[in-house]
């Protein structure tokens, strides 16, 4: 069985990855060592910096994930600053910023970085369009899940099971690409 370290302190992200990759002959092991999230224009830049920071600290195969909520009416805010914005003003702060705004369109983006020793990092990107709810709903998930309604649904991510959320979500789509890569990698091994 192949072991892959997931560099995250977020149990919700870990659970999503474990469920999505459970059919493969891999074991996901959480490693909560953290890495600096630089101020950058794209999630890919943040993930690449994270990989470079960790490459000397983690000698085994690892993944990390960075995601952001990009709100149309707020010109993409909070975007790459989503974790900081969540920690400082939370989803209630975003709802306050959105008061009176009719255009509630938004997109969640995710990038998974996959790094094997002595190989360049690979990046798997997922995206989910949707809208910002007018109030928080649901108790599942984490982060901005209670205020994000994916296109094709009337419920927020926080009103869905992990499996259902993975079928819609940006992270689920990025994980699907990582799954396909790992499945092929295992077949070739």
Task: Name the residues annotated as catalytic.
Answer: 66
Instruction: List the one residue out of 124, 126, 100, 129 whose CA is nearest residue 113.
Output: 124
Nearest to 37 by CA among 16, 57, 17, 51: 51
The domain in which residue 90 lies consists of: 2-188
The whole-model pTM stands at 0.87
pLDDT in tens, 29-54: 999 998 888 888 899 999 999 999 99
Report the CATH number at residue 93. Answer: 3.90.950.10
Domain count, the chain: 1
Position 38 scores a pLDDT of: 85
């Amino acid at each position: 069985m192949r072991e892959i370290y997931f560099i995250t302190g977020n149990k919700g992200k870990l659970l999503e990855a474990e469920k999505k990759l459970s059919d493969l002959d891999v074991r996901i092991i959480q490693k909560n060592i953290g890495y600096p999230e630089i101020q950058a224009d794209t999630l890919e830049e943040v993930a690449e910096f994270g990989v470079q920071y960790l490459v000397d600290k983690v000698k085994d195969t690892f993944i990390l994930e960075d995601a952001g909520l990009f709100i149309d009416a707020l010109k993409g805010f909070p975007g790459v600053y989503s974790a900081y914005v969540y920690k400082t003003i939370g989803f209630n702060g975003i709802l306050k910023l959105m008061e009176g705004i009719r255009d509630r369109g938004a997109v969640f983006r995710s990038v998974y970085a996959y790094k094997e020793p002595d190989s360049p990092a690979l990046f798997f990107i997922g995206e989910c369009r949707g809208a910002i709810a007018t109030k928080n709903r649901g108790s599942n998930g984490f982060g901005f899940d209670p205020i994000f309604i994916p296109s094709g649904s009337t419920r927020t991510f926080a009103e869905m099971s992990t499996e259902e959320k993975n079928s819609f979500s940006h992270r689920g789509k990025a994980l699907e690409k990582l799954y396909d890569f790992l499945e092929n990698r295992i077949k070739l091994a």
